[in-house]
Amino acid sequence: MAERVIFHVDANSAFLSWTAAYRIKVLGETEDLRQIPSVVAGDKESRHSIILAKSAPAKKYGIQTGEPLFQALEKCPELVVVPPDYGLYVEASRHFVQMLRQFSPVVEQYSIDEAWVDMSGTQRLWGTPRLAAEKMRERIWEELGFTVNIGISSNKLLAKMAGDFEKPNKVHTLFPEEVPIKMWPLPVRDLFLVGSATEAKLKRMGIYTIGQLAKCDLSLIRKRMGKHGETIWHFANGRNAAQVAPKPAENKGYGNSVTTARDVTSREEAHQVLLSLCETVAARMRKDSKCGSCVSVHLRTNAFQHASHQRMLSGATNLTQEIFNGAYRVFDELWDGCTPLRQLGVQMTRLSEKPYQQYDLFSQLSPVQYERKLRLDETVDSLRDRFGEDIIRRAKFAQEPGQHMTGGLDKARRTGVTKPIPKEFEDDNGQ
């Protein structure tokens, strides 16, 4: 069989590039965000606002993606901060993938701004892999207006590693025969799936570069780090058999979490937040006709300590009330009742799909009552779909100023609801 050719295509500073293209083309601005120290970050007032993307000049100040906005402003006070526009990013991502599909039908989207393309067998159509990659890079620049890095190899892992070499706007190859020269000298942290915890473990074993990991004895790695160790050992040797999968894998669970506006200190308050999370989780499950039978709750304290706990329900469900009943019990077992909490999350796993539903033998709800409750929840979902999520809310939230549906995307991103009229469009008399 001929050797496979896999491209990894990654948009450079995607969110920032897309926002910059919008501001230049639509708003007619002359200043290009990509040329000045700038970042895309969430609401300045929100305490979990983090850097989502940065420009190359901002990178020179040591600003990193994922760090808190206030920290970035300390590093560079004249930093230009622009808000994210998720509608724009989703649309840009769609066009990006569409463009890739023009080169090959086998495209696997890995995230909003990166994808693998299986280019095997396209040589007579597009020329050599490097030539094809250059064409792809140029067309994306000319037609979509942003730059990409393309990594070329014979498997997904090496293609991704190659894509992360020098940026921006570059094409790199990393075929298996190039691994010892191009990949082995790199620090082990640069290897795919090696995070800070794995890096620390490897360093304790005296492994600092990818080459050292590749040459290390597999049995030793397996003994110290288990299955994950074996995976990264194969990665270090450039081996990865995963196929480019055009269809995304099914969800293994449905979960949402929220960082609350202020620390949660009472049980009642925490239950309210859990209920509001259950509303969104259950609605997502019902939309996909999925039921779950294991509920887990995770929380983060104000000291950033993380804890989670789970339990099996006696049957599979996607009723908001039943999920909440499970979630608050799990929460009560988990929380000591006094440590302030800044983040709460609910997740449902062990999914089953309709029409094969196992009713709960020990539930207080009979199958008929269950179906009735389900119809009620589905009616509420459809009302919220048609008229916005505030059209109906549980009585428990009637007196509460808090949000009755939280987690995942914020309201604007979930609903695409219009923003209030900006000041400049208000009437001059303030009427």
Which of positions 214-253 make contact with another protein (CB under 8 A)?
Answer: none
Q: Which of 45, 91, 114, 322 is catalytic?
A: 114
Residue 29 designated active-site: no
Tokens of residue 180, six digits: 């010892």
Select from 56, 73, 99, 225 the one that contacts another protein (CB under 8 A). Answer: 99
> Is 143 a residue that touches another protein (CB under 8 A)?
yes
Q: Which is nearer to another protein, 268 or 427 (CB)?
A: 427
Q: Which is nearer to another protein, 88 or 334 (CB)?
A: 88
Pick the stretch among 43-51, 285-293, 373-381, 421-429 that binds another protein (CB under 8 A): 421-429
Amino acid symbol at 60? K
Pattern of binders to another protein over 57-96, x per CB under 8 A?
-------------------------xx----x--xx-xxx
Residue 341, classified by CB atoms within 10 Å of its CB into exposed (0-12), middle (13-18) or buried (19+), is buried
Please report, to the nearest 10 degrees, the dihedral formed by the alpha carbons of residues 40, 42, 47, 53 taken in order: -30
Q: Which is nearer to another protein, 26 or 361 (CB)?
A: 26
What's the min distance (Å) between Cβ of 87 and another protein? Answer: 9
DSSP string, 327-386: HHHHHHHH--S-S-EEEEEEEEEEEEETT-----TT-SS-HHHHHHHHHHHHHHHHHHHH
What's the min distance (Å) between Cβ of 425 and another protein? Answer: 6
Pattern of binders to another protein over 157-196, x per CB under 8 A?
----------------------------------------
Residue 98, classified by CB atoms within 10 Å of its CB into exposed (0-12), middle (13-18) or buried (19+), is exposed
Q: Which is nearer to another protein, 251 or 415 (CB)?
A: 415
CA-based diameter of the chain, in Å?
77
Buried b (16+ CB within 10 A) or exposed e, 259-289: ebeeebeeeebbbbbbbbbbbbbbbbbbeee
Catalytic residues: 114
The residues of the shown chain that bind another protein, judged by CB under 8 A, are 18, 21-27, 82-83, 88, 91-92, 94-96, 98-99, 143-146, 418-422, 424-429, 431
